Amino acid sequence: MKDNVTWEQAVIWLREQPDQCELVRACYYDDPLIESAQRYEASGEWQAVCKILPRKTGSVLDLGAGRGISSYALAKTGWQVTALEPDASPIVGREAIRTLIEQSNLSIHPLNGYAEKIPCVDSLFDLVYGRQVMHHAQDLQTMCNEIVRVLKPGGTFIATREHVISKKDDLPIFLDNHPLHHLYGGENAYLLEEYLGALTRAGLQITKVLGPMATIINYFPLSRHDWLRIIQAPFIWLLGYRITHILLSEKYPWSHFINCYLANRADNINQDPGRLYSFITVKKSL
């Protein structure tokens, strides 16, 4: 790991690598920023997120908002957005969010702060949303406690694309394979039970846990076609592509249930260090 390399400098380095163009686009680090945000809002990932958002819009805290792509999408959906981001930089921080506000003319309020100490009063937000945020926590329990504190009773916390490991020995493997951790050292991953335990102890009721292949929220940037190819691989191996395609073609009503079952089986087998999970939770009412 290099010394004194900021998150912004790490992203700039990644953008300068000729062989990392697809990764840069997949992470929405490309410019113009407004086009990157628009692409995220139009993505299959965001469309899937919209299906799990509360039906009624209100006030939302975008936790660890980065350069503001989630804040943009939430604001376009009708939410009153506060974008919490500790980084001030114009590439991946609050200045980027301000640029996005100017270019989009959307009402988003950038706020300086960390998720472990949110500078907001109690019971302020109807929704707290975090895309790839929880695994960065220095103190996961403190973060969850703060999320609950600023949520209204009955409010929703949604965390998407969180890195999971099966055992502590897998963490170095995940970090060694991460394209930017060697530069700035800011990545992390937790055991699934650590996430769930911290959420529960904080006072959140877990309504859904979405595994790596359960939703495009997690398996993006894979396409739907890639997803089907992966989960149907055992059938193709046993029966061949033609028969599998006939049996599991999405034009048949039973294919949805079979493909969901296969995705669940794939998640149970998958032990890849750093695989992605998403969590939907609700703050218990008083």
CATH of the domain at 43: 3.40.50.150
Domain assignment of residue 232, yes or no: yes
Domain assignment of residue 2, yes or no: no
Q: What is the pLDDT of residue 182?
A: 87
Domain assignment of residue 16, yes or no: yes
- Same domain? For 35 and 62 the reply is yes
- Same domain? For 107 and 232 the reply is no
Give pTM, 2 decimals.
Answer: 0.93
- Same domain? For 120 and 145 the reply is yes
| CA–CA distance, 72 with 75 (Å, rounded to integer) | 5
Q: What is the pLDDT of residue 1?
A: 42
Domain assignment of residue 20, yes or no: yes
- Same domain? For 279 and 260 the reply is no
- Same domain? For 247 and 201 the reply is no
Total number of domains in the chain = 2
Domain assignment of residue 44, yes or no: yes
Q: What is the pLDDT of residue 235?
A: 79
- Same domain? For 122 and 255 the reply is no
- Same domain? For 241 and 111 the reply is no
Domain assignment of residue 217, yes or no: no
- Same domain? For 67 and 153 the reply is yes
Tally of residues, the chain? 286
Domain assignment of residue 183, yes or no: yes
Domain assignment of residue 26, yes or no: yes
- Same domain? For 73 and 196 the reply is yes
pLDDT in tens, the chain (286 residues): 445 689 999 999 999 999 999 999 999 999 999 999 999 999 999 999 999 999 999 999 999 999 999 999 999 999 999 999 999 999 999 999 999 999 999 999 999 999 999 999 999 999 999 999 999 999 999 999 999 999 999 999 999 999 999 999 999 999 999 999 988 888 999 999 999 999 999 999 999 999 999 999 999 999 888 898 888 888 788 888 788 877 777 777 878 888 888 899 899 999 999 999 999 999 988 6
The domain containing residue 252 runs over which residues?
Answer: 223-268
- Same domain? For 206 and 227 the reply is no
- Same domain? For 153 and 262 the reply is no
Type of residue found at 193:
E
Q: What is the pLDDT of residue 224?
A: 85
Q: What is the pLDDT of residue 257?
A: 85
Structure tokens at 76: 């376009």
Q: What is the pLDDT of residue 3?
A: 55
- Same domain? For 125 and 244 the reply is no
